[in-house]
Amino acid sequence: MEKKGLKMPSAFSILFIIIAILAVITHLIPDASVTGAKLSDFIMAAPYGFEDAIDVCVFVICIGGFLGVVADTGALDAGIAAIVKKMGGNELMLIPILMIIFSLGGTSYGMCEETMAFYALVVGTMMAAGFDAMVGCATILLGAGVGCLGSTVNPFAVGAAIDELKGAGIKANQSIIIGLGALLWITSLIIAIIFVMRYARKVKSEGRTILSAAEKAASEAEYLSGKTTETVSMSGSQKATLWLFGLSFVIMILSLIPWGDFGIKMPVFTEWLVGCRWGEWYFKELQAWFTIMAIIIAIISRMSERDFIKNYINGAADMMSVVLVIAVSRGISILMKSTGLNEYVLNHAASALEGVNTGVFTAGSYIVYIGLSFLIPSTSGLAGASMATFGGLTAKLGLHPEVMVMIYCAACGVVNLITPTSAVVMGGTALSKIEYPTWLKFALPLCGILVVVNIVILSIAMMVL
């Protein structure tokens, strides 16, 4: 039975409270560079956030429609049952395998919002295997997150930072950045895998879960209601549906990898469908891709036109709460930018770090970037706003701008595992039927460990390179 008493506010309330607090703070700063937020700034933050995040919002809606069509075929449930049966008691090994895969996407091309497409499958599979929704959510969110933390060739983090340094006349050795990024990625990934597996063992063997009774009931109703883990025979159309389901995500991943940055030019035939080659796709192309695949699956499954439309709309409707959370969370950074509060924090933080020793400078820069990442959750946006300033300060002190690039990546990566300003955190937990405070309680200890390990590695690198 769920305990009665004071309940934590919902994700929407938390986000609006944060927007309100930041709006008040803008009136308390005696600096001409910061404009006091008006009531209209507060009211319009969410609508402008929706406008700013429209591509990812529509992508999530299209994914919902796609999953609604797939779910109606029964192929996904049968496939999950087959996976669990095949693991034969080794379900725990799903965690490191999947986290490694997601982290590869994170370190290579900044896989982030794209993970929204995987929650239904992974959370459902983990729950069917005897774990809880938190295990499924953490496998995706932490897997891709630590990959972004240890970005090696991620164009939206490393690439954007290097470009900003070049613009400021600062030369960076990309080999050092890749090597240091790989070290941060591997160490953080190992720590995260151990963390999730320890929790998963407690859930499976002892029945201990961090979820409240309401969260547990909601996730079970969403992912286990009316489903079975017993192996069922699949029809030919269901098998074909599963292959097409897997192919949909393989194409998504291939289309998002920036092949041109690696000197690989994709053949012309890859642009016939949406007008651009693999490596140039983004959310608009993915919206079209998943809608097309939903239609193909409906045809193979002999689904009527009326049933297809009904299933697609119902699936899209299931994602609306996630879409609204993403929009409101983006509204926070909109308010920060419009009032100039983000620039104020950036400039004062950089000034505070001048004249300190190397170790303090490294740790201080990391902590400053933690704060900046909360204000500007976009990695490329944060690089554009800060790297010229912090890279220039690092070069001025005779230190290594390559390490500053990874300080920015690592700090931003840790924050984006827990911050409510991240559409991925709020959207992923919403899809998993987990309240944000519960996720915070689960992930904060891991983030504390990662911060300490990251600072140690980066401090040593700043001193010895």
Cβ(289)–Cβ(58) below 8 Å: no
Kindly state the tokens that stand for 155. Answer: 């164009």
> Looking at the whole model, is its pTM more than 0.85?
no
Sites in the chain below the pLDDT cut of 70 = 1-11, 80, 109, 226-233, 261-262, 268-270, 381
What is the residue whose two structure tokens read 């690989």? Answer: 264
Kindly state whether residue 98 falls inside one of the protein's structural domains. Answer: yes
| Number of domains forming the structure of the chain | 1
Kindly state whether residue 10 falls inside one of the protein's structural domains. Answer: no
Domain that holds residue 76: 54-330+422-464
Kindly state whether residue 320 falls inside one of the protein's structural domains. Answer: yes
Kindly state whether residue 278 falls inside one of the protein's structural domains. Answer: yes
Kindly state whether residue 363 falls inside one of the protein's structural domains. Answer: no
Kindly state whether residue 237 falls inside one of the protein's structural domains. Answer: yes
Supply the pLDDT for residue 309: 94
Kindly state whether residue 33 falls inside one of the protein's structural domains. Answer: no
Supply the pLDDT for residue 202: 95
Kindly state whether residue 61 falls inside one of the protein's structural domains. Answer: yes
Q: How far is CA 310 from CA 68, 303, 385, in A?
A: 9, 11, 45
What type of residue sits at position 46? Answer: A
> CA-to-CA distance for 248 and 286, rounded, in angstroms?
10
Supply the pLDDT for residue 183: 97
Supply the pLDDT for residue 167: 80
Nearest to 58 by CA among 316, 278, 253, 403: 316
Q: Which distant-in-sequence residues (6+ apart) come within 8 Å of 394 by Cβ?
A: 365, 400, 401, 403, 404
